[in-house]
Amino acid sequence: MLPKKTKYAIKALTALAKVYYDKKPLRISQISETEKIPRKFLEAILLELRHQGFVASKMGVTGGYYLSKHPEEIMLSHIIRATGGPIALLPCVSLNFYETCEECPHEELCSLREVVLEVREASLKILSKTSLTDLILREKKLIRNAKK
C-alpha cells in the first residue's frame, strides 16, 4: 500500500498541474482545502518535493508553489519513488532501493524473486507511463462519461 504521504503528493501535484499554464503559484492553504490534506503535513510534503526538484516556490505574500517540470514529464512512478519508496514487492527486485535477500542463498536461482520481478515489471509499465497530464485527461473523461 502507498503511504498517505504519496497519495497526498500525487493529489497536490495534480492540483498544481491543473493550473500549470496560469503562471501563478498556488498557496499551500488552497491546495490543502480543495484536496483535504492536513495543512502542516502538506507543507512538509511540498517542501520535500521542492528539494527533489518537482516543484518550485515563491515566498512572501503573493507566494505559493508551482510545478518546475512540465506535467507530462512527471510520472506516477517518480512521485512514488520520491515519497514512498520501492514499487517492488521485495527489496531484491527493486531498481531504486535494492537490498540483498539474506535468507535466499542464491538470488539468481530464487523462483520467488522471478515472480515478484514480473509483478514489478507489470506495475512499473503502468506507473511509469502515466503522467500528471494523463491523470487530468482521465478525470475529464470520467466526468464526461458520467454525465451521459
Cell 512572501 belongs to residue = 60
What angle in degrees, to the nearest 10, is found between the helix axes of 76-83 and 111-127? 120
Q: Binds 46, which of a second copy, DNA, ligand FES, none (CB < 5 to 8 A, cut-off by type)?
A: DNA
- Phi, psi values for residue 93, rounded to 5°: -115, 10
Residues 6+ apart with CB under 8 A from 16: 26, 31, 55, 65, 66, 67
Asked if 100 is part of the footprint of DNA (rule: CB under 7 A), the reply reads no
Strand partners, 26: 65
As given in the structure block, the three cell numbers for residue 19 are 493550473
Asked if 76 is part of the footprint of a second copy (rule: CB under 8 A), the reply reads yes
Site for ligand FES in 76-95 (CB under 6 A): 90, 92
- Contacting range for ligand FES; rule: CB under 6 A; set: 23-31, 108-116, 119-127, 136-144: 108-116
Nearer to DNA among residue 65 and residue 71 (C-beta): 65
Asked if 2 is part of the footprint of a second copy (rule: CB under 8 A), the reply reads yes
Asked if 13 is part of the footprint of a second copy (rule: CB under 8 A), the reply reads no
